[in-house]
Structure 1
Amino acid sequence: MSDYHEPAESLSEKARSLTRALNSLKEEIEAVDWYNQRYDVEKDKSLKNILKHNMEEEMEHACMTLEWLRRNMDGWDNELRENLFKEGEIGHH
């Protein structure tokens, strides 16, 4: 199964790199969700702490990838500046 919707050989190297980054971002966010669910139900405090640590590392990875996208894919910088770290209702800027 391919990550591409167009023939890979037709895509530029930049487009292929962007696809790798976008897929990595999806995977990191999915990992945050998995660790969060495990953390939520875990009773053993020691394991719970490990799961929280793992979740926070996945958040770091997601943020690093998002920053790479901001620097390398048109549109991300503007959208992040317009939508992050604002007060008030989300979506009403």
Structure 2
Amino acid sequence: MGFEQYHEPAGELSAETRTFARMCANLTEEAEAISWYEQRISLERNPAARAIMQDSLAEEYKHFSMDLEFLLRTKPQWREIARGILFQDGDIVANGEASERAAAGGTDGGPPAVPPGSSLGIGSLKEQNQ
């Protein structure tokens, strides 16, 4: 893979952004490994070989989960959205939409989202300062 995870010049990116990109690449690689093991296990007829692969698969689950947790800890909005989706009953898409709306409402510590067609109020602030 090399340095293909960067879409901007690496030297211009902060150390935090480079670490984030590395962890995203790690997460992707763990997901690929999970898929490979699942495919191999589904075809493997030898019980001993299958058991070894299943043990390896459990390691990949652990690594994927650790990578995801690291990433979620670095991005509060992502973590907030994930909380509304992961380990929840009901419709996954509906949970995702509701979670995204809730996070856009400012629960990530950032400013609330501005609904389409509304004003940020910059004009009214400009008038107050004149």
Q: Shorter-chain TM-score: what band? A: over 0.9
| CA deviation after TM superposition for structure 1 residue 92, in Å | 1.1
2-structure distance, mates of 1:75, 1:57: 28
* Mapped pair 1:83 → 2:72: no
| CA deviation after TM superposition for structure 1 residue 75, in Å | 2.3
* Larger relative contact order (CA 8 Å, sep ≥ 6): 1
* Mapped pair 1:61 → 2:58: no
Aligned to 1:47: 49
Count of residue pairs the alignment pairs up = 93
| CA deviation after TM superposition for structure 1 residue 76, in Å | 2.0
| CA deviation after TM superposition for structure 1 residue 73, in Å | 2.5
| CA deviation after TM superposition for structure 1 residue 85, in Å | 1.0
| CA deviation after TM superposition for structure 1 residue 13, in Å | 0.4
Bigger shift: 23-32 or 67-76?
Answer: 67-76
Q: What is the TM-score with the length of structure 2 in the denominator?
A: 0.68
| CA deviation after TM superposition for structure 1 residue 90, in Å | 1.1
Aligned to 1:28: 30
**Once the two structures are superposed, what CA deviation does each residue of 1:19-56 show, in whole Å capped at 9, x if it has no partner?**
00000000000000001100000000000001111111
Q: What is the percentage of aligned positions where both structures have the same residue?
A: 37
Cα distance, 1:63–1:83 mapped onto 2, change above 3 Å: same
Q: What is the TM-score with the length of structure 1 in the denominator?
A: 0.94
RMSD (Å) for aligned C-alpha atoms: 1.1
Question: Which stretches in structure 1 are left out of the alignment for 5+ residues?
Answer: none
